[in-house]
Amino acid sequence: MPNMGRYEEVVNSFSWEISEKELGYRPGDIINIGEYCSDRNLRLGRKDRPALIWEGHSGEVKKYTFYEMSVLTNTIAGFLKNLGLQPGDRICLFMDRIPELYFGFLGILKMGGIAQPLFSAFGSESLITRLEDAQTAAIITQRKHLPKVRNIVESLPYLKHIIVVDDDGTKSLREKEIAFHMDKAPRLEKFDIYPSRAETPSVLHYTSGTTGKPKGAQHVHYSLISQYITARYVLDLRENDIYWCTADPGWVTGTSYGIIGPWANGNTQCVLDAGFKAETWYRFIEKYKITVWYSAPTAIRSLMKEGEEAVRRRNLSSLRHLCSVGEPLNAEAVHWSKNVFGLPFHDTFWQTETGSIVISNYPEMPVKAGSMGKPFPGVTATVVDLKTYQPVNKPGVVGLIALKPGWPSMFRTYWRNEATYQSKFKNGWYICGDRASIDEDGYYWFVGRDDDVINTGGHLVGPFEIESALLEHPAVAESAVVGKPDPVNMEVVKAFIALKPGNSPSQELELDIMNFIRKKLSPLAMPQEIEFVDSLPKTRSGKIMRRVLRAKEWGEEIGDTSTLEND
């Protein structure tokens, strides 16, 4: 029997107190996510259960029990504290998906720090934007990523420590740099965990918007109440599950459901630190007997491309429940998974800002393939009119997804950007920035984003950040960046570029510009296509009209441009 029971019944009887009670939390108590995910499991008799089973890209395997995890997260917390880092300091995790990343996250929370996870694929420019804004005090990284940090260290006055987790003495460390070996460091059996309360900041996740720099969505320790119960009800995690979340903790899915939710439930998590390959993924599921699997549409579409044969070669009968997040999950993908795994993928919808799943398909509820499902019990959701922000209250009418603030894991502000945070609220609703409609049965159907943000393979990329970086290329006069349809990644980045006088379009220049962005920002932000143009469509006030270029790519009507022209 699924944990949640029948949706209609749970919706009527649910309150967040259920989650608080299960976690033994009473309002006003100390609540520390680091403690709940590790030490609490020892008190519940899970000491010898594997907490983390990790496999690296060359096949090496590491396993840690909850007991070892508790000691190692203490060890990291103690090390950070001894360096003089203070509660409230932002500590960045800039690593591949190695065990130090997962335990480092919990170690930071245990000593009261604010964890700031960033993708290790980020280049110096992506890094500096986010570290500058957060005024980050320390960064935990690996030798291989150290050059990117060294590039920018001079410009980061707040950065006091660069902690290298795999220094082997071959690279002489510079000022501010310090080596730390998780497995060799003196183990701390006991650590005085920081007595955080519900509203104490916990995690700072950067997310891209249409304009301006990426914004830091700031979360608090109380988010645990949402993350724990959604992992139990939506992912249906049960005591002996072996769980695999394919997301990187640089993305919120990799922290809310790749660290906090499952470990607060005491589950064994498997992590594969290797790129996507269907054969490797199926082998991984078979080898570790994964029971619950949380992935993303792009990965599922890539698996579909590889065909059924690859599935049939493996015994995947351990799988019990499948979920997906990040982009619209096509009906076709749901039918395919039902056919080849005997289980449909359950679509879930949420955001960095919501901190946990807010709309979803549940184990006991019939899946309407292609729909995102229904609001999580305890979350009040609706679709509001695009202009008046009043609930549309009519099946099939497209509007904006809106949520009533108040669920525990909602972000509390954008870091040092309260004005933008406030601008997300209309008529008392938090506006997600996505368009959808609700059908007569209450199921939500995703339509598209309401802004210019590009969703490539489930990752949000801000056009503004790419356009700004493009301008730093010596040949680029101006540019506009939009999403272009892609069969696997849903969208990929396309750049329209007007060149400076004296430069002419060529394939070499195109490649040079692509690489320039890949190194500066990240492989995800790299344009997959560049179109050289003489000039870009603009509003009268000189704003580039990305909407016009985007519509062209998608073969859509350009729509009303008059307002834009008079802008």
With CB atoms as reference, the residue minimizing the distance to ligand 6R9 is: 352
Residue 124 engages ligand 6R9 in binding (rule: CB under 6 A): no
Residue 296 beta carbon to ligand 6R9: minimum distance, rounded to whole angstroms: 8
Please report how close the Cβ of residue 376 comes to ligand 6R9 at its closest, in angstroms.
Answer: 13
Stretch that binds ligand 6R9, among 74-82, 155-163, 320-328, 507-515 (CB under 6 A): 320-328
Question: What is the bridge-based pairing of β-strands 444-449 and 429-438?
Answer: antiparallel
Neighbours of 307 (CB within 10 A): 11
Cβ closest to ligand 6R9, residue 129 vs residue 348: 348
User: Residue 46 or residue 459: which is nearer to ligand 6R9 going by CB?
Assistant: 459
Taking CB under 6 A as the rule, does residue 460 contact ligand 6R9?
Answer: yes
- Of 66 and 446, the one with the shorter C-beta distance to ligand 6R9 is 446
Q: Does 435 bind ligand 6R9 (CB under 6 A)?
A: no
Q: Residue 31 — φ and ψ, nearest 5°?
A: -145, 115
CB of 312 to ligand 6R9, least distance (A): 28
Give the nearer residue to ligand 6R9 in terms of CB position, either 202 or 455: 455
User: Residues 517, 519, 524, 526: is their CA dihedral positive or negative?
Assistant: positive
Does the footprint of ligand 6R9 cover residue 350 (CB under 6 A)?
yes
Indicate the residue type of 462.
G
Is residue 22 helix, strand or coil?
helix
Q: Contact at 8 Å (CB) between 269 and 258?
A: yes
Amino acid at 237: L
Taking phi over 0 as left and psi of -120 to 50 as alpha, with beta for the rest, 192 belongs to: beta
Candidates 67, 349, 362, 443: give the one binding ligand 6R9 (CB under 6 A).
349
207 touches ligand 6R9 (CB under 6 A):
yes
Binding ligand 6R9 by CB under 6 A: which of 91, 108, 372, 490? Answer: 372
Q: Is 491 in the site for ligand 6R9 (CB under 6 A)?
A: no
Minimum distance of ligand 6R9 from residue 464's CB (angstroms): 16
Q: Which residue among 89, 236, 241, 347 contacts ligand 6R9 (CB under 6 A)?
A: 347
Question: Long-range pairs for 63-72 at CB < 8 Å and ≥24 separation?
Answer: 64/99, 64/103, 66/38, 66/41, 66/42, 66/266, 67/42, 69/38, 69/103, 69/106, 70/38, 70/39, 70/41, 70/42, 71/187, 71/188, 71/189, 72/99, 72/103, 72/107, 72/182, 72/183, 72/187
Of the candidates 72, 85, 229, 325, which one interacts with ligand 6R9 according to CB under 6 A? 325
Interface with ligand 6R9 (CB under 6 A), residue total 22
Site string for ligand 6R9, 253-292 (x = CB under 6 A): x---------------------------------------
Count Cβ atoms below 10 Å from residue 354 Cβ, excluding itself: 24
**Is residue 434 near ligand 6R9 by the rule CB under 6 A?**
yes
Contact status, residue 88 vs residue 201, Cβ threshold 8 Å: yes
Residue 245: exposure state from Cβ atoms within 10 A (0-12, 13-18, ≥19): buried
Angle, vertex CA 352, rays to CA 448 and CA 291, nearest 5: 95
Q: Does 456 bind ligand 6R9 (CB under 6 A)?
A: no
In three-state form (DSSP H/G/I as H, E/B as E, the rest C), the secondary structure along 174-199 is: CCCEEECCCCCCCCCCCCCCCCCCCC
When the beta carbons of 201 and 373 are compared against ligand 6R9, the nearer one is 373
When binding is defined by CB under 6 A, the residue of 449, 519, 538, 552 that contacts ligand 6R9 is 449
76 near ligand 6R9 (CB under 6 A) = no
Binding positions for ligand 6R9, rule: CB under 6 A:
207, 251-253, 325-328, 347-352, 372, 432-434, 446, 449, 455, 460
